[in-house]
Amino acid sequence: MRLIRWGVLVALLGFLGCDVGTATVFLLQSRDKKSDSGPESAPPVPGFGPIFQAWVAQIPDAGAADTARQDLVDSNGNPTGPLWTLIGNAAATFIFDPDPSITFNAILIQVSSTLNYDLDCVEVLDNQDHVLEHASGITWSNLVDLPDNIVGPPDGVVAHTNAIDFTNAFIFTLYPASPAIDRFRINGHGDTLPPDPGDVESVGGFTSASNERPGGVAIDTAGKIHLTLAVGNTVRLARYDLTGAFVDDVQIATGITAAAGSHSVALDQSDVIYTATTVSNGQVLVRQYAAANLAQGWSTTFNSGLGSDRVESNGIAVDQLGNVVVAGGMNSLTGLNHWLARLTGSNGGVLFDQRPGLDLTGPTYWHGVTTDAGNLIFATGDLTSALSSQVDVQTARYNTAGTNQWQDQFGAGGNPNLGNAIAVAGSGKVYVGGFLSTTGQGRNSFIISYAPAAPPLPGNPLFFADVDIYNGSANSNDEILDVAVDSDGFVYAVGYETVTGQGENFWVRKYTSDLTEVWTRTYDGGVGNDRAISVAVFDTHVIVAGFQTVTGGQTKLLLRVYAK
């Protein structure tokens, strides 16, 4: 086992609804990401270049907000008198951190005609950048179309400013006066410019009366989103466009009775669709579907005859030759163990089927699989020591015949540890994400990279290149459930973070190739646990499929598209 050093705690964000009470006024223009952090003098009319400015104030009630709005209208959208304090400006989505000596329940932002803005949301943050609440009450504005679109968490549905020469646009809403606001983030971008990295572009869902839980996600060459979705005891293949709009779906299987396991999807270079699903009696069903109309092609079932066979949400991949690789767990006399199979994409013929007959590792198996440009196979999961009950992350590489070429195990001293997902960059770097158990901290999410040349010599331990390990502020469970790499080498990890008072929050992070954080976003639906389960990248978009818990306790699909 390899002991991994701990990474630095990073700022996270979540979302929680709020009551009426604080003013949030918007004036936005311009596009450079960075903002001046300190106060500055208000610019002269007619405006102040392509930026937006943020001001704060204490407004006691809705009546006073009415008066504040009229004063702003009378002054052409420029704050006058002692009510508002300028705290800074920005060109796009930005976190503002006012002096802690300033007490306020209102955030004023104004926009001039130099560049009008699309405004998505204002989020109140704590000092660790967890989202405590977002605008949810009445809005007051001038020269703003659809001002109520700033209400709620970021969703890509925006309010639009229409400032004119000599008159600035503004919008605000009220938050509770207590607790005091510490920090806040304004989500917006110039109306002629694309969303900022990390901004939500669109949101989608599914309509049913049952619990919903997505599995894998994949994108075709035209940007159409494919995801597998459990709806009650049925598994479906559903498709969406990049606006989050539902396109079509087809039933994969029904009458699902398996208590464990999930479902996944992958596409070949011609957009032919392949799914792997844990179905009744603990079997793994692999199917092909046509890209044009979701017509079913061939179907193959893998079955140990002992029950409890399974595949997880990252358990299927297609190599450059069009062959399908499936990884998961098959039962044997020693319990559930690692299983790997490779099939021809054309007819589902089995090229190899590795059964765990001599595998003495115990109830551990592959959770994620991928292939590289050379059609080598990479899998990750967990492995139970033959000499103890220690469960560590297991990662391995296989050739096209299914012969193991290297393997590595590591953990962080706790038990168990697990690799949930694996991806290979164009550079050859291998990225693995999952969790490490740590005393007093529950599950800590981790992502690790292996160098392309690993291992240096056959039989030698592998050298990992970079690692990021995250323990959230609640010292509770945090976990990466999927990873993806784009053509520029950036890495995307999704999963959940536990936040005190909020439960599990939907969690998305972008990294550089050496696992330096670029941006992080989270979402809290305000009712129960919310998880991001799978991720894929297309062009400038990051597509994340997960679920949120709604009133009544049901879990519902939450599809969120972010700007890279």
- Residue 426 in any domain: the answer is yes
- Return the pLDDT at 122: 95
Say if residue 86's pLDDT is above 90.
Answer: yes
**SS3 state of residue 47:** coil
Residues 70, 97, single domain; the answer is yes
Q: Where does a domain end: 196, 223, 239?
A: 196
* Sign of the torsion angle spanned by Cα atoms 55, 61, 65, 67: negative
Residues 455, 558, single domain; the answer is yes
Residue type for position 50: P
Residues 379, 455, single domain; the answer is yes
* Mean pLDDT calculated for residue range 401-426: 92
* Contact present, 56 and 98 (Cβ < 8 Å): yes
**Gap between the Cα atoms of 123 and 61, Å rounded:** 20
- Residue 111 in any domain: the answer is yes
Say if residue 388's pLDDT is above 50.
Answer: yes
Residues 109, 247, single domain; the answer is no
* Mean pLDDT calculated for residue range 12-16: 29
- Return the pLDDT at 5: 29
- Return the pLDDT at 38: 32
- CB contact set of 209 (below 8 Å; sequence gap of 6+): none
| H, E, C per residue of 525-545 | CCCCCEEEEEEEEECCEEEEE
Residues 190, 205, single domain; the answer is no
Residues 420, 454, single domain; the answer is yes
Strand partners, 103: none
Q: Note the residue count of the chain.
A: 564
- Residue 273 in any domain: the answer is yes
- CB contact set of 506 (below 8 Å; sequence gap of 6+): 14, 496, 522, 523, 524, 525, 530, 531, 532, 544, 546, 548, 558, 560
- Return the pLDDT at 178: 75
- Residue 12 in any domain: the answer is no
* Contact present, 422 and 264 (Cβ < 8 Å): no
Residues 179, 285, single domain; the answer is no
Residues 181, 210, single domain; the answer is no
- Residue 41 in any domain: the answer is no
492-550 pLDDT, tens digit per residue, is 999 999 999 899 999 999 999 999 999 999 999 999 999 999 999 999 999 999 999 99
Residues 438, 300, single domain; the answer is yes
Range of the domain at 533: 201-563
- Return the pLDDT at 10: 29
CA distances from 119 to 108, 174, 187, 273 (A): 13, 16, 6, 37
196-232 pLDDT, tens digit per residue, is 999 999 999 999 999 999 999 999 999 999 999 999 9
- Return the pLDDT at 362: 67
Query: In this prediction, what percent of the chain has a pLDDT beyond 70?
Result: 88
Residues 172, 222, single domain; the answer is no
**Gap between the Cα atoms of 266 and 322, Å rounded:** 11
Model confidence at 460, in pLDDT bands (50, 70, 90)? low
- Return the pLDDT at 129: 85
Residues 163, 210, single domain; the answer is no
Say which CATH number the domain at 518 has.
2.120.10.30
The strands making up 85-90's β-sheet, listed across from edge to edge, are 85-90, 52-57, 106-111, 169-173, 139-142
| H, E, C per residue of 56-99 | EECCCCHHHHHHHHHHHHHCCCCCCCCCCEEEEEECCCEEECCC
Q: Where does a domain end: 175, 196, 217?
A: 196
The rounded radius of gyration (Å) of the Cα atoms in the chain is 25
Q: How many of the other CB atoms lie within 10 Å of CB of 83?
A: 19
* Contact present, 150 and 33 (Cβ < 8 Å): no
72-85 pLDDT, tens digit per residue, is 999 999 998 899 99
- Return the pLDDT at 34: 32
Model confidence at 314, in pLDDT bands (50, 70, 90)? very high
For 161, the enclosing helix (H) or strand (E) is: strand 159-161
Question: Which has more pLDDT, 235 or 406?
Answer: 235
- Return the pLDDT at 455: 58
Say if residue 11's pLDDT is above 90.
Answer: no
Residues 460, 314, single domain; the answer is yes
Model confidence at 36, in pLDDT bands (50, 70, 90)? very low
- Residue 38 in any domain: the answer is no
- Residue 3 in any domain: the answer is no
- Return the pLDDT at 461: 56
Model confidence at 180, in pLDDT bands (50, 70, 90)? confident
Count of domains observed in the chain:
2
Residue type for position 473: S
CA distances from 418 to 217, 311, 370, 500 (A): 21, 15, 17, 24
Q: Can you read off the two tokens belonging to residue 220?
A: 């075709």
Task: Give the chain's mean pLDDT.
Answer: 88
Query: In this prediction, what percent of the chain has a pLDDT beyond 90?
Result: 75
Q: Can you read off the two tokens belonging to residue 553?
A: 């306790």
Say if residue 360's pLDDT is above 90.
Answer: no
Say if residue 485's pLDDT is above 70.
Answer: yes
- Residue 481 in any domain: the answer is yes
* Contact present, 243 and 202 (Cβ < 8 Å): yes
How much is the pTM? 0.90
Q: Where does a domain end: 144, 161, 196?
A: 196
CB neighbour class for 74 (10 Å; exposed up to 12, middle 13-18, buried from 19): exposed
Backbone angles phi, psi at 73, to 5 degrees: -60, -45
Q: Closest Cα partner for 278 from 201, 215, 337?
A: 215
CB neighbour class for 478 (10 Å; exposed up to 12, middle 13-18, buried from 19): buried
